[in-house]
Amino acid sequence: MNKLPLLFLFLMLLLNSLFSQQVSLVAYTETIKTYPFSDPDPLPIIDRYNEIYPYFRFDGFSHEGKPEDWRMVKLENEHIMVYVLPDMGGKVWGAIDKKTGKEFIYKNDVVKFRDVAQRGAWTSGGIEFNTGVIGHHPATATPVDYTLFTDAEGTAHCVVGATDLSAGIEWRVDISLSPGKAWFETRTFWFNHSPFHQANYYWSNAAVKSADDLHFYFPGTHWLGHDGRAHPWPVDEQGIDRSWYKNNRDNGSSSYHVLGSTDNYYVSFFHDEQFGSAHWSPVWGTPGKKIWLWAQSRSGAIWEKLLTDAHGQYVEVQAGRMFNQNSFSSAYTPFKQTSFQPLDADSWRERWFPLSGMSGISRVVENGALFLDFSGQGLQLQFYPAEKIEGLLRISQNGKMLAEEGLTLAPAQTLHKHYPQITASDGLLVSLDGKTLYQQGADYRMSRPLEAPPAAFEDALIRGREYLFRRDYAHAQAAFEAHLQANPHSLEALAYLAELHHFAGRTDEALAYCRQALGLHAYDAHANFVFAQLSKGLGHTADAEDGFRFAMREPAYRSPSLTLMAEMRLAAGDYEEAAGLADEALRYQAANLKALQLKAMAYRKAGMQPQARQAIDALLEVDPLSHFAHFEQYLLSGKEEDKALFVRSFNNEMAKETYLDMAIDYVDAGLQQEAMEVLKLSPPNPIAHYWLAWLSGEEQALDEALSASPFLIFPFRTQTLQPLKWSTGIRKSWKTDYYQALILWNKGRKEEALALLQAWEDEPDFAPFYYARASLKGMTSDEALEDLFLALTVDPTQWRLYRELSGVHQQRKEYDKALEITRLAHDRFPGNFILDIRYAQSLSLVGQYEASLAVLEQIDVLPFEGENSAQNVYVQDHLMLAVEAIQKKKYRKALQHLRQSELYPENLGSGSPSYPDYRAQQYLRACIYEQQGKTELAAKEYEQLMGYQHPYRQGPGSPVNRLAYLLALYQSGNTTQAAKLAAEWAEEHDSLFGRWAKALIGEDAQTLSRLAQDLPQEVASPNEWMQLRVLMALSACFR
């Protein structure tokens, strides 16, 4: 018999098997219908969003989509496909299960940017990786760096990342897919490249489709709101099981941060399809679990069309390093902001996989998911393997072995087994190869406190830490100073104040706090660390080394101290000692990128090329996106191809800042020549030219700095002050002082910043210069107003200046002037709905309600998340017109306006909520019916008004609706209760609306007369003024 054909067939089958298990990794261009964003804001955002400076916002969004080419990376094996968009924040664009053809990560059919993120632009779907303080990270819609490779095991990698410039945190996400696996993994890496404490905030934000059969299997006992308050999970206080999507129809847009279990997984499961999406992480990985739901009322449903064309509504399922995405009010609970140590690294991994052929979920483990269904007919066991399974399945009950069998399962081959002898879960243990899949009674529940002591946040030290880790440096400093005043020997407050002043570049003040702390405790690690840094910067080597040697005794400062000591030795030319200190730093933090960089530099400068190459390889092993490693490779080889590789390694939006970071690292290490070589390769950037001029002394570089446009140039590093001050000594320029002022302003040094700008009077021809000066003067001052008009004279095409000017006039209660500005803007910038809303508001503020409504009827708002400003104007216009009609006894017209005020025209960017509050309308209708003698109808309105209760919102509602309730209560005979509630309202922070209500309910005519004169001057905002007018109008109907 000829065996050659059989051998050939066997080899072909083997090759086919090997090929089928390979992972495809391709980068290609995909054309996707895109609704683009545009219009970057050239005005410094320091007064508005200082926590994300030096980034800028985008304010332009499109109603129309057009085909646009996107760079797409696709990772694919025989089980799943994963798509990544490096030019959209490096997000996973979607993931598909090849067995079913279904998305287990939502893959949008369009790219539809809307104003949702901190910088504006954001698009739904996929998985985004969020850093910062709260919300969507600054690079979520813009290009980031990325690299692709396949490792020796055949695993495909797409590594994405950038630097969060506001904090100096380098973030990387390695998205990988292995052969033969039905899961993909993300490994996140962070490095705090700064010598300061930073916020430690991370959430992976995945999307899945919404559906009535969607069930959230999120192990836990409670859910937290953004405010940190705890509620039962999954069944809440109302007895509703919130883990089902359909059970949230009655709720508004909701965030459920689920906690209470260390079983670290979550599943979004579609019961009708027997399909789901699973997320798993090690217990130390991402303890936070969150569900975000758009409201199922129109207030949330409108976002389906806003964010997709035809792909349907989605929900977000998230994993984080904290228990909740904490708003500031969460600081009153145990769930405060956390910190990231200086020069520290952190890493964690997450795993994502589809589930199919299952009826539910009992538990998820690293390599699959289990479902156990008990009935009188026995146990139905289902197991979905996310990878090949070969092992022994054991089932025992109360120590007795009930089943034992060997299993061989291919990935995604769901196991179905029936065990008729097992009818209950009592004492059940299911294991696979000795690893527990399920154990009845296994206790993963946590017992940590869910509430803080009532007065805990009154502690100024606790407040200071919270402000600091939220990047609110001014309030942090004030809190620490308050604590120090009450506790003059507080080492912690002294050290933090030293760090804050060091961060702001106030060296003398920082040193004074350090010396005070070290006078109390010579060995305090934090104070020594800050003192050593300051001494290093001043060239006081002995003091620096003295500080570092004691700071490093505390583990948190050990690797950072050794790193900065290595940098000092490198700058002094002691290359081998520098390399040794860097090695020592890496013993305590192997992923310390700065130590790895210093090691590569030191070996290269010492002429030890093999060791330098090893150091570069080690750096790339930890950080495959290291531009520094590529540049060091070029410095070693001198080859043009290595230089080209370095330049090509940049893809991120803020590449010019990355170049400057590298140059400053070289300067700090005493390697000025290398710094200049980096800067010469940088994209155009006037700040880089200042540095180059300062380092080289070349006039040409200074010429280039001074001739460059300052458009969208936002310097922020205190190190840059030195080149700028040097430049001023060579040649004075308003641009140089403007750049210095931005840095000082960002660091809280407002007086110094303003002094620099004041000197230039009206010479600059750059509108943001005058905007910055107006902000520093205090926007509502006469001097600031003059600067805003100067800005408008310089650039009458900048629409934001009209918005700012009208806002200032409104705050100054100069409503006629605000109207004049907004009318001009409305005519000059047709279709700009932001200005049109302001125009409509201005018309309303001067009583032109019909004209205001006419403007609102014509606009088409692309809202930001939570947008309701246009809707508020619309409602208040109709309420005021209704009151005017009542006063003229035109009741039919009044009732018509009241009906219209209860509508939610969706061109205004808001949809009707689940529980709209119409108490003001009901009160006015009751007034009308009383005046018409229709007492039964009036009584019905009062009954509905007083029966209104929002089941989930705490608090009494808006001032207008709150007053309507009190007046109805009073007129229904509950006068004592109405007076009591009004008095309580008046005492709430000396509420101006409460004072009015108290006087009105108490029929205190004298106080009402005085308040009618005083309150219009006391209101703090145009919205308050509009509410006050409606409130007074309601009062006119009170009998």
Helix or strand or coil: residue 856? helix
> By the 8 A CB rule, do 850 and 1003 touch?
no
Q: Provide DSSP, 113-165.
A: -EEEETTEEE--SSEEEE-SSSSS-TTTTS--EEEEEE-TTS-EEEEEEEEET
Q: How many CA atoms lie within 13 A of 1011 on its CB side?
A: 22
- Find, among 463, 469, 467, 477, the residue nearest to 750 by Cα: 477
- Can the peptide bond before residue 54 be classed as cis, meaning omega within 30 degrees of 0? yes
Could you say which architecture CATH assigns to the domain 363-439? Sandwich (2.60)
Q: What are phi and psi of 301, to 5 degrees?
A: -65, -30
Helix or strand or coil: residue 547? helix
Cβ-proximal residues to 432 (8 Å cutoff; 6+ apart), any chain: 383, 389, 391, 392, 393, 394, 407
- Find, among 651, 656, 655, the residue nearest to 143 by Cα: 651
CB atoms within 10 A of CB 588: 18
Q: What are phi and psi of 1006, to 5 degrees?
A: -65, -45
Between 755 and 996, the higher pLDDT residue: 755
User: What 8-state DSSP symbol labels residue 866?
Assistant: T
Q: What are phi and psi of 625, to 5 degrees?
A: -100, 10
Across-strand partners of 183? Answer: none
Task: Supply the pLDDT for residue 355.
Answer: 98
Across the chain, what does the average pLDDT equal?
A: 94
> By the 8 A CB rule, do 279 and 216 touch?
no
What is the rounded CA–CA span in Å between residue 748 and residue 753?
Answer: 9
pLDDT tens for each residue of 711-753: 999 999 999 999 999 999 999 999 999 999 999 999 999 999 9
Residues of the chain with CATH 2.60.40: 363-439
Amino acid at 602: A
- Find, among 710, 754, 759, the residue nearest to 732 by Cα: 759
Is residue 564 within a helix (H) or strand (E), and if so which, with residue range? helix 555-571
Task: Supply the pLDDT for residue 19.
Answer: 47
Is residue 417 within a helix (H) or strand (E), and if so which, with residue range? strand 415-419
User: What 8-state DSSP symbol labels residue 291?
Assistant: E
Residues of the chain with CATH 1.25.40.10: 460-551, 575-652
What average pLDDT does the segment 998-1022 reach? 84
What average pLDDT does the segment 71-80 reach? 98
- Can the peptide bond before residue 768 be classed as cis, meaning omega within 30 degrees of 0? no
Across-strand partners of 199? Answer: 339
Residue 1004 has pLDDT above 70, yes or no: yes
Is residue 509 within a helix (H) or strand (E), and if so which, with residue range? helix 507-520
Across-strand partners of 368? Answer: 365, 385
Handedness of CA 116, 119, 122, 126 (dihedral sign): negative
Pairing of strands 111-112, 24-35: parallel
Helix or strand or coil: residue 64? coil
Helix or strand or coil: residue 430? strand
Task: Supply the pLDDT for residue 1039.
Answer: 61
User: What 8-state DSSP symbol labels residue 197?
Assistant: -
User: What would the two tokens of residue 262 be?
Assistant: 């260390």
Residue 20 pLDDT grade (very low, low, confident, very high; cuts 50, 70, 90): low
What is the rounded CA–CA span in Å between residue 533 and residue 718?
Answer: 14
Task: Supply the pLDDT for residue 15.
Answer: 43
Any idea which residue has 């009160």 for tokens?
923
Residue 5 pLDDT grade (very low, low, confident, very high; cuts 50, 70, 90): low
User: What would the two tokens of residue 889 be?
Assistant: 């006894």
Q: What is the end-to-end Cα distance of the chain in Å, rounded?
A: 111
Residues of the chain with CATH 2.70.98.10: 27-356
Residue 21 has pLDDT above 70, yes or no: no
What is the rounded CA–CA span in Å between residue 549 and residue 532?
Answer: 9
Identify the CATH class of 460-551.
mainly alpha
pLDDT tens for each residue of 344-403: 999 999 999 999 999 999 999 999 999 999 998 999 999 999 999 999 999 999 889 999
Could you say which architecture CATH assigns to the domain 575-652? Alpha Horseshoe (1.25)
Q: Is 864 exposed, middle or buried (0-12, 13-18, 19+ CB in 10 A)?
A: middle
What is the rounded CA–CA span in Å between residue 334 and residue 133?
Answer: 17
Entry pTM:
0.95
What average pLDDT does the segment 688-705 reach? 95
User: What 8-state DSSP symbol labels residue 272?
Assistant: T
What is the rounded CA–CA span in Å between residue 459 and residue 727?
Answer: 45
Residue 13 has pLDDT above 50, yes or no: no
Q: 595-598, long-range: CB within 8 Å, 24+ apart, which pairs?
A: 595/559, 595/562, 595/563, 595/566, 596/622, 596/623, 597/628, 597/632, 597/665, 598/563, 598/566, 598/567, 598/570, 598/669
User: What would the two tokens of residue 983 be?
Assistant: 């008095």
Task: Supply the pLDDT for residue 18.
Answer: 47
What average pLDDT does the segment 133-157 reach? 95
Cβ-proximal residues to 938 (8 Å cutoff; 6+ apart), any chain: 925, 926, 927, 929, 930
User: What 8-state DSSP symbol labels residue 241?
Assistant: B
What is the rounded CA–CA span in Å between residue 285 and residue 271?
Answer: 28
CA 130 to chain centre: 6
CA 43 to chain centre: 21
Helix or strand or coil: residue 700? helix
What is the rounded CA–CA span in Å between residue 354 and residue 218?
Answer: 16
pLDDT tens for each residue of 833-856: 999 999 999 999 999 999 999 999
3-state helix, strand, coil split of the chain in percent (to 5) is: 45, 20, 35
Cβ-proximal residues to 483 (8 Å cutoff; 6+ apart), any chain: 459, 460, 461, 464, 490, 493
- Find, among 710, 784, 773, the residue nearest to 741 by Cα: 773
User: What 8-state DSSP symbol labels residue 1019?
Assistant: -
Task: Give the percent of the chain with pLDDT over 90.
Answer: 86
> By the 8 A CB rule, do 79 and 95 touch?
no
- Find, among 795, 846, 797, 799, the residue nearest to 818 by Cα: 846
pLDDT tens for each residue of 213-268: 999 999 999 999 999 999 999 999 999 999 999 999 988 899 999 999 999 999 99
Handedness of CA 276, 277, 283, 289 (dihedral sign): negative
Task: Supply the pLDDT for residue 1033.
Answer: 82
Task: Supply the pLDDT for residue 6.
Answer: 52
What average pLDDT does the segment 1012-1026 reach? 81
Q: What are phi and psi of 766, to 5 degrees?
A: -135, 115
User: What would the two tokens of residue 313 be?
Assistant: 């509504």
> Residues, the chain, total?
1039
Residue 152 pLDDT grade (very low, low, confident, very high; cuts 50, 70, 90): very high
> By the 8 A CB rule, do 182 and 387 touch?
yes
Across-strand partners of 214? Answer: 270
Between 1025 and 529, the higher pLDDT residue: 529
What is the rounded CA–CA span in Å between residue 745 and residue 774?
Answer: 12
> By the 8 A CB rule, do 526 and 547 touch?
no
Amino acid at 529: F
Between 1039 and 840, the higher pLDDT residue: 840
User: What would the two tokens of residue 683 be?
Assistant: 């994209």
Task: Supply the pLDDT for residue 3.
Answer: 56
Q: Does domain 27-356 have CATH number 2.70.98.10?
A: yes
Cβ-proximal residues to 288 (8 Å cutoff; 6+ apart), any chain: 203, 257, 259, 318, 319, 320, 321, 322, 323, 324
pLDDT tens for each residue of 304-336: 999 999 999 999 999 999 999 999 999 999 999
Which residue intervals of 283-331 are DSSP H helices? 298-307
Q: Provide DSSP, 330-397.
A: GGGSS----EE-TT-EEEEEEEEEEEES-S--SEEETTEEEEEEEETTEEEEEEEESB-EEEEEEEEE
Across-strand partners of 267? Answer: 217, 278
